[in-house]
A and B are shown apart, each in its own frame.
Chain A
Amino acid sequence: MNKNSKGLQRAMTAPFTVWMAIFIIIPIALVLFYAFTDANGSFTFSNILSIWEYRSTYIVSIELAFVATVICLLLAYPLAYSISRMKARHQQTMVLLVMLPMWMNFLIRTYAWMTILEDTGLINTLVKGFLSLFGYEFEGFAMINTNGAIILGMVYNFLPYMILPIYTVLTKIDHSVIEAARDLGANGLHVFTKVLLPQSVPGIISGITMVFVPAVSTFIISKLLGGGMTYLIGDIIENYFLGNTGEVNYNVGAALSLVLMVLILISMGIMNRFDKDAETSGGGLF
């Protein structure tokens, strides 16, 4: 490559480099700065140490995100598999249907779930109306403001992010590999456990990452569908920055964010190790 095209390349990456500096590097530096300083701007560990009192919130956040991720995986894999086995034309339609909700605003979709799950919402109104026909009085299901509703919101919102990467790796698996396994005596279960599943590990890993990371840090879903009954770590961070329910404290907020970020990085590191293992034994599909 000659000097000119190198210069051109640099010029082409310049806009993004500037963007990255302003909106990624500087904010992270600010988070680090606030996390390790007090209100007067002098260095302290007290913010980080104060986070110990929020340990149960971290645990709840991770728990809910974990359950949502597992449910997403269990729903997504069979669906992604059946889509990948369809005729090309039907595959396109199905992928479109999977992506369709993503084209609508996240907030609006979550609000829609509120009106469905509320005590006076769609489901309860229908069930109550139906039962009253037979003269039954029914108080209605308590659905909104539960952990179940939060998990539902997470699964609903993040499911496409699990389906698409898994679908992508599954379509890349050469069908003759499956035939080869059958040819060598593998029944349906063997084909799945010994060929399909190991070969789709990279897709599963990216699906898990793409669902778990936003789920563990969400605050909108827990706010709208959890109704403030369950505080997730995202809600606490929001409060410290916006002061909705208490004092504004950028320092503790930044420390909470930092710890969350580190936790996410650690879990992604563990995930990537799985991926690496698969790659060194030849599972890398990308």
Chain B
Amino acid sequence: MANNIIDLKKISVAFDGEQILKDMDLTIEDKEFLTLLGPSGCGKTTTLRIIAGFLQPDSGDVIFDGKLINGVPAHKRQVNTIFQRYALFTHLNVFENIAFGLRIQKKKEQEIKETVTEMLSLVNLKGFETRDINTLSGGQQQRVAIARALAVKPRVLLLDEPLGALDLKLRKDMQNELKNIQQRLGITFIYVTHDQEEALSMSDKIVVMNNGVIQQIGTPIDIYNEPENAFVADFIGESNIVDGIMKEDFVCKFSGATFKCLDKGFEKNEPVDVVVRPEDVDVVPIEQGMLKGKVTSVTFKGVHFEIIVDIGGFKWMIQSTDEQFVGDNIGLYIEPDAIHIMKKSEYSGLYGDFSSFSEEFDELSDVNAGTEDADDE
């Protein structure tokens, strides 16, 4: 408890009558890499802006290092932000951008020079001091933004989808680099993203949000393996989510069959949501199958095949390294530890069925993602 750096207590915010955050409670530990993950409009950026001091919550408290900082303006907070569009000062060169905060603090010229040099080598931009911001690539500008924010030695660094405008390869490199920087400096990073892969690979702790409400807080492994509800299960990775009944501890029934599982503590015969990850389902000869179905679509994905199987009208997604063929009847085998049971929630029945899934649909969403990226640049 002693090393909590930020405490948000019962934070609520509304814009034009629309509730953005509802009674949000969140504790952030010192030196951790925490990711706020959720679809756009879920309130993650709003949360970040409240911590930064750009936005005052309608109600609730912001506590920093044990002190209430509700009314403290942004320029007096020990947190710094990396903005989505870098927000660099285009009238200054690289050196002066990084030195900006230090000059305001009226640091000595010698100290400024040392810090800027140190920061430039931290972000791998040695020798860029006199470069004009407009001549830098997106990735380089992002590095300058990181160096500029870190130069003033913040306790907490806030990152608002910092890699959104970069291409895939560069994004992967920067993910590693950011993680390295965070570990080397030993400061708290609060990272906002809608990219679940990014969140899983970088974070110590993930906060999944939707509609202004925290859905689940946990380590990447917990969030992936033990999703709290259908929303989380669907948002993080691919999931088959089916209606089931908990017969008794360690025994559940779904899709017309009874399975052993590792979950307990439910009422007898309680209706539940059952999550099975596509990669946890084994394809077996039909007579050995716990479930039986007909293959309706097969897509080669490189590492594996993505197979859609119709089981009693519900379409399952299965990932297998063995090729299957459309129209074949196959059996499916599910280990007890591959089954995850969730309480029914407001999201039950909304996600986890792949019947609307098709190649065309996949491409459409890819196109949308593409234009979104283009907008960011």
Give residues in A with beta carbon < 8 Å to B.
174, 176-177, 179-187, 190, 194-195, 198-199, 201, 278, 280-285
Contact = CB atoms under 8 A, between A and B. Distances in A.
A179 B100 contact: no
Given A182-B54, A199-B91, A281-B92, 5 more contacts: A176-B83, A177-B88, A183-B79, A281-B91, A285-B90
Contact of B93 (A177, A180, A281, A285): A281
Contacts of A182: 54, 73-75
Contact of A283 (B83, B87, B88, B91): B91
A24 to B, nearest CB: 34
A107 to B, nearest CB: 41
Q: Counting chain B CB atoms within 10 Å of each CB, which of A184, A185, A280, A285 scores highest?
A: A184
Contacts of A198: 91-92
Contact of A278 (B79, B83, B91, B152): B91
B90 A283 contact: yes
A85 to B, nearest CB: 15
Nearest to B91: A283
Q: Counting chain B CB atoms within 10 Å of each CB, which of A186, A278, A281, A282 scores highest?
A: A282
A151 to B, nearest CB: 32
A87 to B, nearest CB: 12
Nearest to A178: B87
Given A281-B132, A282-B132, A184 B87 contact: no
A114 B234 CA distance: 75
A185 B81 contact: no
B89 A195 contact: yes
Contacts of B74: 179, 182-183
Interface string B36-56: 000000000000000010100
A184 B85 contact: no
Contacts, number: 82
Contacts of B89: 177, 180-181, 194-195, 199, 282
A181 B54 CA distance: 12
Interface in B83-112: 83-85, 87-93, 100-101, 104-105
A183 B81 contact: yes
Contacts of B132: 280-282
Contacts of B149: 183-184
Interface string B119-139: 000000000000011100000
B80 interface: yes
Contact of A179 (B87, B88, B91, B152): B87
Nearest to A177: B87
B133 A282 contact: yes
A177 B91 CA distance: 11
Contacts of A179: 52, 54, 74, 81, 83, 87
Contacts of B93: 281-282
A185 B104 contact: yes
B103 to A, nearest CB: 8
Contacts of A174: 85, 87
A184 B101 contact: yes
Nearest to B76: A185
Nearest to B74: A182
Contact of B152 (A184, A190, A199, A201): A184
